Amino acid sequence: ADDDDLTKLSEITETTLTINLKQRYGIDSIYTNVGDILVAVNPFKPLPIYNKSVSHRYQSEAPTSLPPHIFGLAANIFRSLLTQQSSQCCVISGESGAGKTESCKYLLQHLLTVAHSGEGGLVAKIQRVNPLLEAFGNAQTSMNGNSSRFGKYIELMVTPEDGFVQGAKLSEYLLEKSRVVHQARGERNFHIFYVLFAGLSTDEYVKYGLETIHNHRYALRFLDDQLNAENREACKELRDCLRYIGFTDTDVGHLMLSLSAILHLGDVLFEAHGSNDAARVTNPQLIRKVAAMLQVPAGELASALVSEVMITRGEQIKREWGVSQARDCTDALAKSLYGRLFSWIVNGINQLIQPAEGSPSSLEIGILDIFGFENFASNGFEQMCINLSNERLQSFFNERIFQQEMKDCELEGVQLQQMHYVSNQQVIDLFIKKPLCLLSILDEESRFPKATDLTLALKLHTGPGKIIKHREIQLYAKYSSVYTAPKDMGPSFSVLHYAGAVTYDLSGVLDKNRDTLPNNILFTMKTSDSLLMKEMFHSRLTRTGSLAPSTRQQASRKPSGKSRFSFFNRKPSENRNSLADLMSKISEAAPHFIRCLKPNSVQSPGQFDDEYVVKQLRFAGLLETVNIRRSGFPVRLPFDEFLRR
């Protein structure tokens, strides 16, 4: 692998870097070394050497042979943990569809091969649950047919003395719940809807009161026959997987009922009636069906979807919603149900893969695979959250690769020619640096019930009006190089991200930011007789909005430790908490990086679009990385460790 190291090229420019990647592309390996950083170019087809590894979306079978570069990285991570006696992490980045998730799978497999796996069958367990995770968390987007719509951080717990992997823990964050109720043109809902429903028997269709899947508003996209056949197969596998994790047949039945109920919620219709145009359900039989599936009183559910009851000074005040508010409430329930289901499944998986009771204390190897940078024809709240996460990872990369190297050299009195890299601090500050940042303005505006997309736009474009002090106006103005308001000051704005300019549409952003489940609906769900609903709506939400494991899940085996962070987020303020938690966690570990590149924008094998790749190389700061790796220390051992060795 060393001979492949691009830092060894005599002349490095963007062009030589691209030519070299192109020459290596698709020959025998998708990976190339840039010093200690691994660069992967997506082949979009299984290469002979990795045959069977990515041949099927839901394949859980072990690959027969794996990329040697990844093996090198896995060995390096593992060796570093043992010699440095410190936790390690690997950050995988790249735009959507660049191959992060596939690289994550390879790495995990290699790590568990390199490690003395103390926990019996952990590789098999993780492989077995992966299709389930992907079915619930992935969906087809215009950039990737199997795009992760959540971020995941997998931690392997390793005994520092002997390198035994005792178990693992999975944290999910920022699941794109809005996809449940709305998908952009050409995109689909989460795979699970198509998979499970392709596998239903005729009896089950009747039992769950379902039409064919694409007759339901939440999942209108039509699937071809071949995909349906694939999904039927995948469905069997998923049902087995749920049982394997330890969910009972009753649980699986309840899960099916919940997914059906979600689809039905999308088809509930409202009409305006009375002098105040209050919303009324026009198909009450559907509400009765949903209520029966969720095991809640139908009357209470119907009333909770169209009105709100508040107690003020001991008096009950009922407020009736209009049609669009009632629709929003119904969507909010569908999103909340799905989000909690996903969390519940992840908690179940964690029970399966956690270390055995009484395991000794451990160090961790974390792998971070988050959704890649996105820039669609229309970008909303989801893209904003996704791109902000990517900005923070990019900043972490800059800090570790450039700033740290410069600091190290300075400390050691080594002359290092001044390095240039593009800092993205300004964009991060624009989003999250208080007191005046994009997300704080958004939070503030979300608290006003009368706020609209236009009032939000105005505050974003001009600063929040009268309350702003002169000093703050200047502060806001300093972001003018990365923030652009539209000429008509309408509900959109553009941000110059490290990976290019993205225009965000503000319509619906306030609602998505609020994303709270109305109290009445929450209370109704808490009265459910279904064990699953009880677990999902009685379990507390953690600080970051994720569902804590239920008492039953906790009782099934002792939890591996306090959940330090998990990331099922609802609001930007919580997103910020969870992102900050994540960043501080990876900052404590020694980082390793995989940078994934997409060879073309059409997801096709054998096409290497130079210009498209150069752009990504530039955004990822790869040329600068090669340069700094060439002029800095190739190997960095602390003195005490050097002496010890």
Ligand X SMILES: Nc1ncnc2c1ncn2[C@@H]1O[C@H](COP(=O)(O)OP(=O)(O)OP(=O)(O)O)[C@@H](O)[C@H]1O
Q: Which residues bind ligand X (CB under 6 A)?
A: 30, 42-46, 54, 94, 96-102, 144, 146-148, 371-372, 596
The three-state secondary structure class of 32 is strand
- Residue 559 in tokens: 């939890």
Q: Which amino acid is present at 185?
A: R
Distances (CA, A) of 644 to 160, 191, 230, 412: 16, 52, 55, 20
Select which of 26, 266, 372, 632 is catalytic. 372
d(CA 606, CA 22): 10
The three-state secondary structure class of 179 is helix
Minimum distance from CB of 524 to ligand X (Å)?
35
260 is catalytic: no
* Residue 94 or 572 having the CB closest to ligand X: 94
Alpha-helical segments (H) within 188-322: 191-198, 202-207, 225-245, 249-267, 284-294, 298-306
* Residue 130 or 492 having the CB closest to ligand X: 130
* Residue 30 or 442 having the CB closest to ligand X: 30
141 is catalytic: no
503 is catalytic: no
Peptide bond into 435 cis (omega under 30): yes
Minimum distance from CB of 455 to ligand X (Å)?
33
466 annotated among ligand-binding-site residues: no
Minimum distance from CB of 372 to ligand X (Å)?
3
Minimum distance from CB of 95 to ligand X (Å)?
7
Q: How far is CA 593 from the centre of its chain?
A: 18
* Residue 195 or 281 having the CB closest to ligand X: 195
144 is catalytic: yes
Minimum distance from CB of 53 to ligand X (Å)?
6
Distances (CA, A) of 575 to 175, 513, 541, 565: 11, 11, 14, 12
Minimum distance from CB of 112 to ligand X (Å)?
18
Residue 525 host element (H or E): helix 519-526
Contact 436, 463 (CB under 8 A): yes
Minimum distance from CB of 221 to ligand X (Å)?
17
Minimum distance from CB of 599 to ligand X (Å)?
10
d(CA 247, CA 255): 10
* Residue 43 or 355 having the CB closest to ligand X: 43
* Residue 93 or 325 having the CB closest to ligand X: 93
289 annotated among ligand-binding-site residues: no
The three-state secondary structure class of 546 is coil
Minimum distance from CB of 494 to ligand X (Å)?
22
Q: Positive or negative, the Cα torsion across 325, 326, 330, 331?
A: negative
Query: Which pairing describes strands 315-320 and 590-597: parallel, antiparallel, or unpaired?
Result: unpaired
Select which of 7, 96, 343, 446 is catalytic. 96
96 is catalytic: yes
DSSP 497: E
* Residue 100 or 177 having the CB closest to ligand X: 100
Residue 105 host element (H or E): helix 100-114
* Residue 147 or 575 having the CB closest to ligand X: 147
d(CA 639, CA 645): 10
Select which of 176, 374, 535, 574 is catalytic. 374
Alpha-helical segments (H) within 357-483: 381-398, 404-412, 425-432, 438-446, 453-462, 470-477
Which of 402, 441, 437 lies closest to 422, judged by CA? Answer: 402
Contact 527, 540 (CB under 8 A): no
Minimum distance from CB of 24 to ligand X (Å)?
14
539 is catalytic: no
Which of 17, 42, 12 lies closest to 606, judged by CA? Answer: 42
Rg of the chain's alpha carbons, rounded to an integer? Answer: 25
Within 10 A of 201 (CB to CB), how many other CB atoms are there?
8
95 annotated among ligand-binding-site residues: yes
278 annotated among ligand-binding-site residues: no
- Residue 538 in tokens: 């009685």
* Residue 99 or 380 having the CB closest to ligand X: 99
Select which of 147, 159, 390, 550 is catalytic. 147
- Burial of residue 225 (CB within 10 Å: 0-12, 13-18, 19+) is exposed
Select which of 97, 137, 545, 632 is catalytic. 97
* Residue 48 or 449 having the CB closest to ligand X: 48
* Residue 553 or 616 having the CB closest to ligand X: 616
395 is catalytic: no
Dihedral pair phi/psi, residue 207, rounded to 5°: -60, -40
Minimum distance from CB of 142 to ligand X (Å)?
10
Select which of 18, 141, 144, 171 is catalytic. 144
Q: Which residues partner with 368 through β-bridges? A: 91, 153
Dihedral pair phi/psi, residue 639, rounded to 5°: -55, -45
Select which of 33, 93, 101, 398 is catalytic. 101
Mutual orientation of helices 14-24 and 622-631 as an angle, nearest 10°? 100
105 annotated among ligand-binding-site residues: no
100 annotated among ligand-binding-site residues: yes
Which of 369, 342, 354 lies closest to 135, judged by CA? Answer: 342
101 is catalytic: yes
Residue 168 host element (H or E): strand 165-173
Which of 140, 106, 144 lies closest to 126, judged by CA? Answer: 106
Binding-site residues for ATP sit at: 94-101
Catalytically active residues are: 96-97, 101, 144, 147-148, 372, 374
What residues are designated binding site?
94-101
